[in-house]
Structure 1
Amino acid sequence: MHIVLRFILILIVLRSVIHCHDAHGGSGRGGGGHSGFGGGSYDSHNRHGCRGYHCGEGSGIIAVIIVGGIFALIAVIFVIVLCYYRYKHKSFQSNSAFVNQASAKSRMYDKDQFETGVWSCRYYQYNKWHGPYHLSLSFDRLTSKVSGQGIDDGGIFNIDGVFSSQTHRMDLIKTYEQDTGNSNENIGHPVTLQLTWNLDHNQFEGKWFVRTSNYRGEGKFELKLDEFSELLIDRLND
């Protein structure tokens, strides 16, 4: 809105300048009726000045060039700002599209990473890491669905999502229970977690995404099987 108002103001100023220029170009003709030196001075001035239709046409062309240049500059600035905003707050993939998309580093692993048990997680927000926090996850291999619950500095949350043993990815929806934890951060909103297994770090890594009417953000997220839970699972498998 501010850009439009400034653009209209520039047009009004340009129109006033052109109007004043045309008005000065037609003045001074009253001296043409006098004879002698005074009349000759007026005629000499008009020979080198701008008169008639061509003067107005030239001013119009200049005005069009100026206005066109200003409009083009505004358009370029608008496109740059729009591209930056979309890059900053770009949308994430749907859960099925993300989970089924094979990673460039995708490979076969000897061990299944999707173990039911206690997991620990941490996330990056406001220029620092938060956590680790504990949550329980249960994986259903028949339906490729995962569910769970946990608590962090935001409050109590529930987990629902999908996973794929072929792509080693999972997409989780972390939904906070309102009126728990931090009332300034927790509005009962969902958080999308898109994670890929990292064999080198022995954990899932990816991003969290929040899209609400009051806040849009994203950041790093890490999830790994808790050491205690991992030991318990190994004992049960022995």
Structure 2
Amino acid sequence: MHITTHIILILALLVIAVQCPGAGGGRGGGSSSSGSSSSSSSSSRGRRSGSGGFGPFCFSIKCGLFLFLLTIFVIGFWVIVIICLLVLCWIKCTSGIPSQMNENFIEQGSVKDYNYEESPFKTGVWSLLYHQYNNWHGPYQILLTFDHSSGKVTGRGTDDVGNFTMDGIFSSRTLRIALKQKYEVGTGDPTENRGHKSTIQLNWVSNKNRFEGTWYIQTLKYRDNGYFQLEFDATSVPLLNTSNE
């Protein structure tokens, strides 16, 4: 910021130096110099008014090549600054927000190289892994229940932030899941758990036999998104069958 201020001051001094008229003569020729200077200044202003100038800036080559190029540079500099500020503002405002609503997300996309003999939407224990703060978190175990008649999924679990519940929707046609995760206040890490909500949108990756996608969080103090992975824990099936008997 200090460098930018110095550059602006230097440019302003250069503009003033170019615009500043020459010094007057000594006391001996004061009267004639004054009249000559007045006449010269008047004619100079007359020439300047028709040369494309505006204040210290010049928008025409008639003002002189240096002043014209200096004006273009100053204007271009501020245009770039304004564009950068707008881009940063847009990134900050949209960070943590998915580009699609969950209902639209699960209905889009196509399925390739998938074995339709077995649905990937299985009720049981799933393993989740996510990336945040340049670190991997997990895996953590969660219990998900899929209702194929309604296309809804519910679940619960615990991670390094705290206890949470999940509810969402899925599509057997596009093999996509969209979840809403809600943390329970007073559990886990008090510096991270604010009882906030996050959105998770996942696609089925058949060659890896798991769901992959992105998590999104936007609160008053924090906005971000990152990678999220969900994989079925096959070892949980015997345990679930035993508990149901």
How would you bin the TM-score normalised by the shorter chain? 0.7 to 0.9
Is the contact between residue 96 and residue 216 of structure 2 (CA under 8 Å) also seen in structure 1?
Answer: no
- The yes-or-no answer on 1:179 pairing with 2:186 is yes
SS in 1 for 2:57: helix
Q: What residue number does 1:191 align with?
A: 198
How has the CA–CA distance of structure 1 residues 200 and 17 changed in structure 2, closer, same or farther, with 3 Å as cutoff? Answer: same
How has the CA–CA distance of structure 1 residues 80 and 132 changed in structure 2, closer, same or farther, with 3 Å as cutoff? Answer: same
**Which of 77, 95, 108 is the aligned partner of 2:102?**
95
**Which of 140, 162, 165 is the aligned partner of 1:158?**
165
Q: What residue number does 1:78 align with?
A: 82
**Which of 30, 35, 45 is the aligned partner of 1:53?**
45
Going by fraction, where is helix more abundant, 1 or 2?
Answer: 1
Q: How many residues align?
A: 219
2: CA distance between counterparts of 1:160 and 1:228?
23
Q: How does 1:187-226 map to 2 (within 5 A)?
A: 187-226=194-233
Give CA-to-partner distance per residue, 1:19-47, whole Å, 9 cap, x none: 9714x47x34972767xxxx9xx98x99x
Give CA-to-partner distance per residue, 1:77-108, whole Å, 9 cap, x none: 33245336645727312101111111474756
The Cα of 1:231 is off from its aligned counterpart by 4.7
1: CA distance between counterparts of 2:112 and 2:241?
27
What code does the residue aligned with 1:91 have? Answer: I
- The yes-or-no answer on 1:63 pairing with 2:57 is yes
Is the contact between residue 128 and residue 141 of structure 2 (CA under 8 Å) also seen in structure 1?
Answer: yes
CA RMSD of aligned residues (A): 3.9
What code does the residue aligned with 2:16 have? Answer: V
- What TM-score, normalized to structure 1? 0.75
Identity %: 34
Is the contact between residue 96 and residue 218 of structure 2 (CA under 8 Å) also seen in structure 1?
Answer: no
SS in 1 for 2:235: helix
- What TM-score, normalized to structure 2? 0.73
**Which of 114, 119, 131 is the aligned partner of 2:121?**
114
2: CA distance between counterparts of 1:203 and 1:186?
27
1: CA distance between counterparts of 2:215 and 2:102?
13
- The yes-or-no answer on 1:17 pairing with 2:16 is yes
Give CA-to-partner distance per residue, 1:176-199, whole Å, 9 cap, x none: 001110000000000111111111
Q: Which runs of 5+ in 1 are unaligned?
A: none
